[in-house]
Amino acid sequence: MSMNDIESVASLKILVCIAKADHAITTEERSVLDEAVKAAKLPGNLTTQQLLDGNYDFDTLLREISSQEGKDATFSSAFAMAYADRNCDPAEQALLDKIEKAFVVPKDKKGMFNRLFEEARDTVSLSSITPIADPKKRQSEINEDVLKYSVLSAVLGLNPDPIVSIATDVAVVGLQAKMFRDVGQYWGRETSKDTAKQVMGGVGVGTGARIAVNNLAKFLPGVGSVVAATTNFASTWALGKVANQYWESGGKADTKMLKELFARSKEEGKTAYQQHKAEIDAKQKADKADLDTLAGEYKAGKITQSDYERRVVELK
C-alpha cells in the first residue's frame, strides 16, 4: 500500500529537513532524492530542485501525514538519514524528537531502530573461497556468485513492511559488503571491512541517504517495492562488476573510474533484473516463510540486527 500524494510530498520534505539540519545537501543526498522523485508519481510535477529549495514548517509537514503506514515509513527513513553514520547531530535529533512526539512512536519501536544502528553491521563471517587461477573459471564463478547476491538483494527489496523494511535495507548493505570481499577471495585477495566500506561509499552504495530514501521510496505512489527490488538488484549487480575490477587491479583502481563503471553497470543491472525476473520470483516464493519468520522475530526483539543479517545471508 502506498502513501497518498499529500503524505508522499510531506515525507520527502521531512527528509530534506533532516538532511539540511546539520549541513548543506550533499551530492549523494541530491542524487538519491532525484531518483526517488523521478520514479514517483507526485502531484504538480514536483522536481528535486523545487524540493530542495523549499522552506518548510516542520510541524505542518508532520500534520499532513495521517496514516500509520505513512508515519512508520517516515519515521524509519528519517531515523536512517540521521543515524546511519552513527553520529546524529543535535539539530537532527531535535527534528527526530518532534517526529516521535507527533507520531506517538512507541518506545519499543524507537528502541528497535536504536538497536539497529547501534549494532555492528559487519558481523557476517567471510566465506571460505579457494582462489582460482584460471581466468575463465574464475570469472564464471564470480558471475554466478554476483547473480545469487543480486537475486537475494532483490527479494529483500520486496519487503512491504515499513518497520522491517529498514532492517532489510541495512541487511542488503551487509550482503553487498560480503559479496565485495568474496569476489576478492576468488582473486586470492583478503581485505578489511573498512576497505569494502570505503569502495562502496566511493561509488554511492550503503550511504545513510540511500538507505533512508530507498526505504521511503517503497511507499511512494508509482514506486513501490518492485522498484526497490530492481534498485537493489541493479546496485548489487553493479557493485559486483566494481569489485571484480577493483581486485583485478590489485586494489589500485581509482575511485573516478570505479564510479563510472558502477553507473554503467547499474543500468545493465536494471536490464538483467528483467532477464532474471523468473528466478527472483521463485526465490521470493521459496524464502517467504523464512523471511516472514525472521521479520516476526526481529520485530519482537527476539533476534538482533546482526542475527538477522547472518540468517539472511544463509538464504543465498
For the chain, what is the mean pLDDT?
A: 87
Tell me the pTM: 0.84
> What per-residue confidence (pLDDT) applies to 86?
66
Answer whether residue 129 is part of any domain.
Answer: no
* Number of domains present in the structure of the chain: 2
144/107 same-domain check: no
Is there a contact between 194 and 121 (Cβ–Cβ < 8 Å)? Answer: no
> What per-residue confidence (pLDDT) applies to 151?
96
Distance between CA atoms of residues 180 and 243, nearest Å: 5
pLDDT above 90 coverage of the chain, percent: 48
243/291 same-domain check: yes
- Chain segment 263-299, per-residue pLDDT in tens: 999 999 999 999 999 999 999 999 999 999 998 998 8
> What per-residue confidence (pLDDT) applies to 125?
56
* DSSP secondary structure string for all residues of 146-211: HHHHHHHHHHHHT---TTHHHHHHHHHHHHHHHHHHHHHHHTT----HHHHHHHHHHHT-S-HHHH
273/169 same-domain check: yes
Answer whether residue 160 is part of any domain.
Answer: yes
Q: Give the domain-ending residue among 90, 118, 146.
A: 118
Answer whether residue 93 is part of any domain.
Answer: yes
Answer whether residue 130 is part of any domain.
Answer: no
Q: Which of 5-14, 25-34, 110-119 has the lowest mean pLDDT?
A: 110-119
Q: Which of 61-75, 159-173, 254-268 has the lowest mean pLDDT?
A: 159-173
Tell me the pLDDT band of 32, cut-offs 50, 70 and 90: confident
- Chain segment 223-247, per-residue pLDDT in tens: 677 778 888 999 999 999 999 999 9
Answer whether residue 304 is part of any domain.
Answer: yes
139/114 same-domain check: no
The total number of residues shown for the chain amounts to 316
95/177 same-domain check: no
167/280 same-domain check: yes
107/68 same-domain check: yes
Residue 48 has pLDDT above 60, yes or no: yes
165/290 same-domain check: yes
Give the CATH number of the domain where residue 72 resides.
Answer: 1.10.3680
Distance between CA atoms of residues 8 and 251, nearest Å: 42
Answer whether residue 72 is part of any domain.
Answer: yes
Mean pLDDT to the nearest integer, 305-316: 87
Range of the domain at 151: 135-313
> What per-residue confidence (pLDDT) applies to 1?
56
Q: How far is CA 238 from the centre of its chain?
A: 14
Answer whether residue 123 is part of any domain.
Answer: no
106/139 same-domain check: no
Residue 302 has pLDDT above 80, yes or no: yes
Residue 25 has pLDDT above 90, yes or no: no
Name the more confident of 184 and 191: 184
> What per-residue confidence (pLDDT) applies to 217?
80
172/308 same-domain check: yes
246/179 same-domain check: yes
101/140 same-domain check: no
> How close are the terminal C-alpha atoms of the chain, in Å?
28
Answer whether residue 233 is part of any domain.
Answer: yes
Closest C-alpha among 7, 316, 293 to residue 164: 293
Q: Which of 15-19, 24-28, 159-163, 215-219 has the lowest mean pLDDT?
A: 159-163
